[in-house]
Structure 1
Amino acid sequence: MFICERRFQLWEHLDSVNPKTIGFVPTMGNLHDGHLALVREALDQCEHVIASIFVNPIQFGAHEDFHEYPRTLPEDLAVLDETGCHVVYVPTMDEIYPSGELSITKVSVPKMSEVLCGKDRPGHFDGVTTIVCKLLNIVQPGAAYFGEKDWQQFTIISQMVMDLDFTLDTYSVPTQREPDGLAMSSRNSRLSASERKLAPLLYKNLCDVRKQIVAGKTDFRALEKGAMEKLKDEGFKPIYVSIYDEDELTEMNPKDFGEPRIFGAAFLGNVRLIDNVPVNPNP
């Protein structure tokens, strides 16, 4: 496995490689099986697989957990090697933001970035699209892979790729879950023992909303409100439970066309958890 910090090292290593054969998995490290599922999917579809590890400061808010985000580079490199990843790009801060992150040109996808997680995390998705845009330009892959746990992020990045005429395909990979249903996330390690026992209830509540829709309930706003109240009673600080069109990221009503997806976010202690489930798993 080839490991590099500088783009010129990456370009020299890939000099004879057809970009269309490259699958790319951007990450912030602290890898778990959800990340490795992306690598495995890329390996199934592409001749060459590149992962990146970079904790991106501009997608964290002023009071968020950038400095607390776990850095586990030696362990990450070991599991990527074991999984079969071919190249790992581990850029330094000055490699990505040579003039500092405050003066960087930013990429923004309007409307989609302002709802759901974007509503209580202003600027977050501008940070995501900016770093992904930069990494796609550096790596020049034929395909990029993202997890469905961050469905809003995947949809926004796919829109950016289309709007800016990138010549690559974006793929989503199903959310990897713990045996009790909790979506795998790097932030789960920050949950206390008691919080970890409660955490799967976010997923359970979203599944309960899905069951009610499938059973014929049509008052979506009442379903959202009921799930929020239940989460609060269970010890969460709910941020939202919303039924949205999964492609347009707009609020849905029962008679609307499109595929509904149920999104939820809540704090458990100081840890912000997100999850989502499609209403029709196999449309």
Structure 2
Amino acid sequence: MEVLKNKKTLQDFIERQKEMGKRIGFAPTMGALHKGHLSLYEAARADNDLVISSIFVNPTQFNNPEDLEKYPRDINRDILILENSGLVDAVYIPEVVDIYPEKAESQHYDFDGLENEMEGKSRPGHFDGVGTVVEELFRQVKPDNAYFGEKDFQQLAIIKKMVEKKKLPIKIIGVPIYRAESGLALSSRNQRLHEDRRDASKVIYKTLKKVNELFKINPVSEIKEKVQDVFDNQKGMQLEYFLIADEETLKETDFFYKGKNYRAFIVVIVDGVRLIDNMHLD
């Protein structure tokens, strides 16, 4: 596996691969890798001649400087995980100057309102940061296909919208959420939880499954009350938000309309660690 530590090295590598007609699959990450990330590379391996990872903790998508500082980093561990997986041909590990040559600040994007829902309400500017770094990585890596996990479903929708609006020749592929045996969605932030708290957090997945059972039977308002009751009775957990939204517009709904696809979204703070999850409702 090639380890590419700056933009010039990456560009030389990509140029050689393109000359050979290689089809490139790419999944950018912020490191702290786990099996959820590897599921992206498994998907990419099946569709492409070459699979590229990147590891870059993007400063412009953190609203809270403390969250940026606490974000888990262990680049040597991450490289070893990628090497041992046998799924990745190269990993790009840029410095900030490779992504932001002058100043680490975001461009402004119009994502047709997707950026104003859910996470956008509590994290202003977050998706401008996501769009800026992903667009720059796409322009440098020049992938044919790019892979993102459905755990960050809003992010996935926004990246699809950005590619559409910028007319980038890249296919964006969503990969199903990778869960622990308990059902907890794997996340880099989970590493900040004690093992017993990770186990207790399986209630998030159980709640989503219950929501899926109740959807189309109970009014959305009643479902929201039931979800709130669950977390009011969980020690050390705080429900930040729960809602059901149209998968296309991400707008919250209070009623089921035939012909539309819906998804439940939830954010729970567990001992100060923010966990997000979602589930398609059928």
TM superposition score category, shorter chain reference? over 0.9
Cα deviation, residue 20, structure 1: 6.9
Kept in 1, the 8 Å contact 2:50–2:89? The answer is yes
Letter in 2 for 1:5: K
Distance 1:157 1:64 in 2: 26
SS in 2 for 1:264: strand
1:232 counterpart = 2:235: no
Letter in 2 for 1:37: S
Aligned to 1:223: 223
Kindly provide the CA deviation profile for residues 93-137 of structure 1, in whole angstroms up to 9, marking residues without a partner as x: 1211222214x4343424211111221122111111111111111
Distance 1:225 1:96 in 2: 44
> Percent same amino acid among aligned pairs?
36
Cα deviation, residue 229, structure 1: 2.7
Aligned to 1:278: 280
Distance 2:217 2:223 in 1: 8
Cα deviation, residue 211, structure 1: 0.7
1:94 counterpart = 2:76: no
Aligned length: 277
Aligned to 2:49: 47
Superposed counterparts of 1:9-24, under 5 Å: 9-18=9-18, 21-24=23-26
Letter in 2 for 1:217: I
Distance 1:56 1:185 in 2: 17
SS in 1 for 2:279: strand
Distance 1:106 1:74 in 2: 33
TM-score (norm 2): 0.93
* Unaligned ranges ≥5, structure 2: none
Distance 1:55 1:258, change over 3 A: same
Distance 1:58 1:66, change over 3 A: same
Kept in 2, the 8 Å contact 1:242–1:263? The answer is yes
Please, which of 146, 170, 173 is the counterpart of residue 171 of structure 1?
173
Please, which of 202, 205, 218 is the counterpart of residue 203 of structure 1?
205
Distance 1:2 1:188 in 2: 28
Aligned to 2:252: 251
Cα deviation, residue 161, structure 1: 0.7
Letter in 1 for 2:144: G
Once superposed, what is the RMSD of the aligned Cα atoms?
1.6
Cα deviation, residue 152, structure 1: 1.0
Cα deviation, residue 199, structure 1: 1.0
Letter in 2 for 1:172: G
SS in 1 for 2:69: coil
Aligned to 2:150: 148
Kept in 1, the 8 Å contact 2:22–2:49? The answer is no
Distance 1:190 1:131 in 2: 25
Cα deviation, residue 217, structure 1: 1.6
Cα deviation, residue 64, structure 1: 4.5
Kept in 2, the 8 Å contact 1:218–1:254? The answer is no
Cα deviation, residue 221, structure 1: 2.5
* Unaligned ranges ≥5, structure 1: none
Distance 2:128 2:229 in 1: 31
Kept in 1, the 8 Å contact 2:182–2:199? The answer is no
Distance 2:124 2:258 in 1: 28
Kindly provide the CA deviation profile for residues 187-221 of structure 1, in whole angstroms up to 9, marking residues without a partner as x: 001113442232111111111111111xx424112
Kept in 2, the 8 Å contact 1:40–1:83? The answer is no
Cα deviation, residue 256, structure 1: 4.8
Query: Hey, which bits of structure 1, 4+ residues long, moved more than 6 A?
Result: none
Please, which of 208, 211, 214 is the counterpart of residue 212 of structure 1?
214
Distance 2:224 2:37 in 1: 30
Cα deviation, residue 226, structure 1: 2.1
Distance 1:15 1:161, change over 3 A: same
Kept in 1, the 8 Å contact 2:267–2:276? The answer is yes
Distance 1:20 1:233, change over 3 A: farther
Kept in 1, the 8 Å contact 2:4–2:91? The answer is yes
Kept in 1, the 8 Å contact 2:10–2:92? The answer is yes
Kept in 2, the 8 Å contact 1:20–1:141? The answer is no
Q: Which segment is superposed worse, 78-87 or 264-273?
A: 78-87
Cα deviation, residue 16, structure 1: 3.2
Please, which of 28, 32, 35 is the counterpart of residue 34 of structure 2?
32
Please, which of 36, 61, 64 is the counterpart of residue 63 of structure 2?
61
